[in-house]
Each structure stands twice: as C-alpha cells, then as structure tokens.
Chain A
C-alpha cells in the first residue's frame, strides 16, 4: 500500500498524510456525502501514535493509512449508528475486532462512512441521515449498503475503507464506484463489534483502489477471534503473494446462469472482454453451471429477513437509543421501534416475522434453508471443475438517485449476482472492469471456494494487470 510504504520509510509522516486526507475530504465531501462524521482530533491522536511506533522501529503494514469505517462497526470513541435513528448517540464500549486489528497495524480512522440503514439496501438511499452520491456521476447512487465506504475510496478521499457484506454490500457498491471490494469467506474475519443484520451471512471486508491493497487489508483483519465463535482457525493464506502470482493455467469458469439472465448490453460486452483477457493471460477459460443461482434472491430475502427480524428485536430504547415518551413498557417498545426504524428496515422485519410465523415457517424459512443447502452443494460441485467462477458484479451500471426507491423488489434484484456467494459463504471480489457507454464503472466478480482466498486474489490480480485501467479521478470530483 503506497501510503503505508511512504510512512514506513519515513518519507512522509502519518500526520502529514492525514492532513492531506482531511483537506481532500473538506474539499470533496460536501458534494459526495460519503462521511456521516469526520473525527480529526481523534484521527490526529492516532496518526501521532502511528508516527511514534514507526520511529520506534515497529513494522506496521498499514502505517498511517487513513481509513473510513462503515457506520455499523465499533470504533472506540466514535458513535456507531448504522445510519439509523434508533442508534443515534450510541457509543460502543470498545473497538470491533477488525478495527482493533487495523489499529494494531498502524491505521488511522478518519470518520464514519454512510450506509443504508442497518446495511439494508443497494443504493445508500436508505440512510436516515443523508444521500451519498457516486463520484463518477453525482446524480447516481454509489451502490449499497457500503456506499459511503465505496464513494470515499473512489473519490480519493481515503486509500482504504472497511465495509460489510451480507448479500453484496461490499462488492455491489465497489462495482458502482469503480473500486476493488472484497468479501472474505464467512468466518475469515471476526464479526465482533459489527452490528448484526443477518448473522449467518454478515462478513467484514476491505474496499480499496487496487487488488494488492485489498489483499493487505484482508490479511491484517483475518484470523480467528475468541470473541466470535464463527471465526475460523484456518490459516488466512498469503493473499499478497497470490495477487502477483499470475493466472497461467488457472481454470476460470464463466457462470452460465449469469449469461442466461439477459444481460444489459454494456455488461454483456464487458464480460466478453473479460473472457478474452483471461484467455490472453493464459487461463483455461470455460463455462460452469450453478443451477440454483437464479433462485438466490428468493432464498436470500427469506433467510436474511428472518435473521434480521430476530437480530433487530433487541432495539427497544432501553439500553441505547433515543427514548420517546411512552406510558408503559409495551408502548415504549412499539413507539421506539416505529419512530426509530426507517421504511426499508420495517419492511425486512415484517417480511422476516412473516417467514418465521406459525403457519408460514415451513413453507418459507424451512424451504429457503433447504434451497440454500442445495445452492451450496451446487457451488461445491462447480469448484470441482474450476478454480474460480467469474460473473458480473452488477446487472446494470449505477442507476439514478430515486429511480428504484418506489419498487423494493426491483431494488432487491440489483444484488442478483452477489447474493449467491453470500448464501454459500464463499470469498468473492469485485475488480473494476471498464466503463459503460455513459462512462459509468463496471465491475467483474470473481468467486472462489470456501477458504480459497488465495485463488481469488491470484485471479483478481492477474485480471487487474491484464486490463490495466488508467488510475483517473472520477469526473464528478475533478
């Protein structure tokens, strides 16, 4: 990571780096709206600490690197609200494990990145606080739910950000904004201190401007954690070496079901170009089938909503959050939740409550869980034939702000290519793959088998070198 190398070599201090970052945030974020809050005083304390550690000879892989952190992760000293009214004023007691690992590696936290409320959305329009705009076209959405993180990186305000991905919330905004976004295997990164949305799907990962940077951040935050029993003891591998390894001979399977979806013209053309690039880099390119992938959205909206309705049952304004006037305990629960949650969160809670209710449970939740198991099995079989699977990250380039807000189902279908990897718990990365006719970014998604991060980074690094996109400032923030 170039910033870290500069600070490690003491060519530039973490404090100088931070000052430049804050100046850029000041200049640009009024237009983009990526940050809910910028915390310069705390950030300078962290930058001073990073400089002192570098002077003391510590080897810090992220020395002085300014980060944006999605507002659903705990950073000690800052609020963490999930861009929701119901968590306004909540101060976490400690760092999330992923955040403390970044801190240990020398990172500096610039501020809280905007998001769809409780990570429920694909456009960041569900934030209760503000809109975030796509740096490539300020009239368009940045994707979601980690839209603030993606926009902050794409506009060059920060070199790295953490996002969370439940059904595509890192990979989809990364594609919309033209940056790299990586969702690790479920269990690779501790979820301690990540506010829960759907616990069997949630995973923290990096958004960066290059595959190598994503590999470094992933390596720092990965690994088992006694505070999250689902975190895996498996060795996280050597993603930075994998990213420069090359893809000669690698078996690359293009997902048949994605191509059968009737792709947008620009996306289809972009996928053809990706196929050609993999071939010219020496990969063995083939087509692979995951027959249940087209049902993934239906499965996802049962499973994720059911888990969300359970996880969000804890919000009642007793232990945190603003407390509305109420006569008794039952009305406190109802009033705080009715006033505190936005429409999309209520929709998911109602949908999940429906799927788990007596009389519907077996027909919806039970059936979806069985279909999820079959989908996972489909992937296992596919990875017997190929090393990685390739498909688009997004079905269309970023759409206009407001275009889909009245039609929740159409909005849900924005995640059609990202949800399958989430349900199967697989690692998957978005790599920028070019632009649409209108100059909007497109992203290629590369999926690996469970704990196959090294394969994913090898393919992603090879593709990135092959396509060699110019590193230009997005036109909305020039």
Chain B
C-alpha cells in the first residue's frame, strides 16, 4: 500500500467515538486509529478511479416506502417483556436533566 499521511488519527477516533456513543479509552486510541487508518487506506483506492458519468448511471434502485399511516404492532408487548425497566407502557430511563456528571 502506498505511504500516505494518516487520515484516521487518534483525535479523529476520539471524535467519531463520541458521535457513535462509544467509550474508547485514551490508551487505546492509537491502536484503533492504526487499524481504522489501514482500512481507510484500502478504501482510498476508490479515489484513484475515474468518476465520469458515474452519477448518470444510477443503477441502485430507489428505496420504496410504504404509506406513512399508524398501524398497531406488537411493540407494546415487546417493550413490556424486554425493557429492563418499564412503567405505564414506556421504557424508564435515568433522569435526563440534573443527573450525575
């Protein structure tokens, strides 16, 4: 693989982990960055390809949608059976405002 400056640095890992709501310990940032950068470096081969007329050849089918109308499902029962804590048909979560920092 040709040498290139790293795209995925420890700082990038720190930022995307925060976006993904994952905790990556500071001591592991370098390892994650190295692994992900190796994969991204492989993906970068796509940048070498000519892109002419690619957009006009859109062979990927558009996603079909069903009508946006309410429908009763098994969600209530699933929630009652599977949520760690539920009350009144809702999942209970820790307090959103004023919790521990």
Which residues A88-140 have CB closer than 8 A to chain B? 89-94
**Distance, CA A354 to CA B17, complexed state (A):** 9
Instruction: Indicate whether A318 reaches chain B with its CB closer than 8 angstroms.
Output: yes
User: Given contacts A337-B22, A372-B60, A376-B59, is CB(A320)–CB(B36) below 8 Å?
Assistant: no
Additional A-B contacts beyond A331-B100, A338-B22, A367-B51 (10; CB < 8 A): A91-B81, A91-B82, A93-B77, A94-B74, A226-B66, A302-B46, A323-B85, A327-B101, A338-B23, A353-B16
Interface centre among A292, A295, A374 (most CB of B within 10 A): A374
Instruction: Indicate whether B87 reaches chain A with its CB closer than 8 angstroms.
Output: no
Is A319 within 8 A of B36, CB to CB?
no
Interface residue stretch chosen among A27-35, A46-54, A341-349: A341-349
A343 to chain B, nearest CB (A): 9
Q: Which 6 pairs, one residue from A and one from B, show the smallest C-beta to C-beta distance? A: A328-B99, A327-B100, A93-B74, A376-B59, A323-B84, A320-B82
What secondary structure prevails in chain A residues at the interface with B? Answer: helix
- Contact residues of A with B, CB < 8 Å? 89-94, 200, 226, 229-230, 292, 295, 297-299, 301-302, 309, 313, 316-323, 326-335, 337-338, 341, 346-347, 349-351, 353-354, 357, 363-364, 367-374, 376-377, 380, 408-409, 412, 424-425
| B35, B99, B100: the one within 8 Å of A347 (CB) | B35
User: Given contacts A301-B43, A351-B36, A367-B47, is CB(A329)–CB(B61) below 8 Å?
Assistant: no
| B19, B23, B38: the one within 8 Å of A409 (CB) | B38
Is A302 within 8 A of B43, CB to CB?
yes
**Distance, CA A349 to CA B20, complexed state (A):** 7
Interchain Cβ contacts under 8 Å between A and B, 20 examples: A92-B78, A299-B46, A316-B21, A317-B84, A320-B78, A327-B101, A329-B96, A329-B99, A330-B99, A331-B94, A331-B99, A331-B100, A334-B21, A349-B20, A350-B16, A350-B17, A368-B46, A369-B60, A371-B46, A409-B38
A186 to chain B, nearest CB (A): 8
B19 to chain A, nearest CB (A): 5
Scoring B residues 1 to 45 as 1 if CB is less than 8 Å from chain A, else 0, what string do you get? 000000010001101110111110000000010011011101101
B90 to chain A, nearest CB (A): 10
**Distance, CA A303 to CA B46, complexed state (A):** 13
Is A329 within 8 A of B95, CB to CB?
yes
Nearest A residue to B96 by beta-carbon distance? A329
**Distance, CA A335 to CA B99, complexed state (A):** 15
Is B35 within 8 A of A332, CB to CB?
no
| A200, A322, A377: the one within 8 Å of B57 (CB) | A377
CB neighbours (8 Å) of B55 from chain A are: 370, 373
Scoring B residues 61 to 95 as 1 if CB is less than 8 Å from chain A, else 0, what string do you get? 10111100000011101110111110000010111
| B20, B39, B59, B94: the one within 8 Å of A332 (CB) | B94
A148 to chain B, nearest CB (A): 23
A434 to chain B, nearest CB (A): 31
A426 to chain B, nearest CB (A): 11
Interface centre among B19, B100, B101 (most CB of A within 10 A): B19
B93 to chain A, nearest CB (A): 5
**Distance, CA A301 to CA B46, complexed state (A):** 12
Is B83 within 8 A of A363, CB to CB?
no
CB neighbours (8 Å) of A230 from chain B are: 63-64
Is B21 within 8 A of A337, CB to CB?
yes
Nearest A residue to B65 by beta-carbon distance? A229
CB neighbours (8 Å) of A90 from chain B are: 82
Nearest A residue to B18 by beta-carbon distance? A334
CB neighbours (8 Å) of B35 from chain A are: 347, 408
B28 to chain A, nearest CB (A): 10
CB neighbours (8 Å) of A292 from chain B are: 49
Is B82 within 8 A of A334, CB to CB?
no
User: Given contacts A91-B81, A354-B16, A371-B54, is CB(A425)–CB(B39) below 8 Å?
Assistant: no
CB neighbours (8 Å) of A357 from chain B are: 15-16, 19
CB neighbours (8 Å) of B65 from chain A are: 229
**Distance, CA A92 to CA B77, complexed state (A):** 10
Is A318 within 8 A of B91, CB to CB?
yes
